[in-house]
Amino acid sequence: ILFVEEIEPVLSFWVQRLGFQSVVEVPEGDRIGFLLLARDAAEVMYQSRASIMSDVPALAEGSMAPSGALYIDVDSIDDVIERLDDVEVVVPKRTTFYGATEIFVRAPGGHIVGFAQQGEEK
């Protein structure tokens, strides 16, 4: 679960750009408090600070600064890159020593997301 101040800004990144579907939206007042997104075998969950405060207050204390990163395998890295034209690139497209082609970007909310197309097995 990725914790953010508010969920609404992340929706267009995942749904319109990357083709994920909103599977579960749980309201918190007049906003979204919890969101489950899915595409193929990947699932991404977000929870807002307000929702965390009402659910598990100890988790909402202090900074909500993003930590950790997501790493998502994709069939075509170039198809993903086409959808990320104005997103902050943290690590440009590269090929790793183990043959994966990957790119890392900063998603709305500040979390780092890596997308990787695995190389041919030898």
Query: What confidence tens digit (pLDDT) does each residue in 64-75 have?
Result: 677 778 999 999
In this structure, is residue 90 part of a structural domain?
Answer: yes
- pLDDT: is 62 or 117 the higher one? 117
Query: What confidence tens digit (pLDDT) does each residue in 64-105 have?
Result: 677 778 999 999 999 999 999 899 999 999 999 889 999 999
Using CB atoms within 10 Å of the CB of residue 86, give its burial: 0 to 12 exposed, 13 to 18 middle, 19+ buried. exposed
27-49 mean pLDDT: 94
pLDDT of res. 121:
56
In this structure, is residue 122 part of a structural domain?
Answer: no
Which pTM value belongs to this model? 0.81
Residue 122 has pLDDT above 80, yes or no: no
* CB proximity list for 9: less than 8 A, separation 6 or greater: 108, 109
pLDDT of res. 107:
93
Q: For all residues of the chain together, what is the average pLDDT?
A: 90
**Rounded distance between C-alpha atoms, residue 73 and residue 7, angstroms:** 23
Report the CATH number that the domain containing residue 113 is assigned in CATH.
Answer: 3.10.180.10
Strand runs (DSSP E) across the chain, as ranges? 2-4, 21-28, 31-39, 42-48, 69-73, 89-95, 101-106, 112-117
> Which residues, listed in sequence order, are joined to residue 106 by a DSSP beta bridge?
112
Count: domains in the chain: 1
What phi and psi values does residue 74 have, to the nearest 5 degrees?
A: -130, 160
27: domain range?
A: 2-117
In this structure, is residue 82 part of a structural domain?
Answer: yes
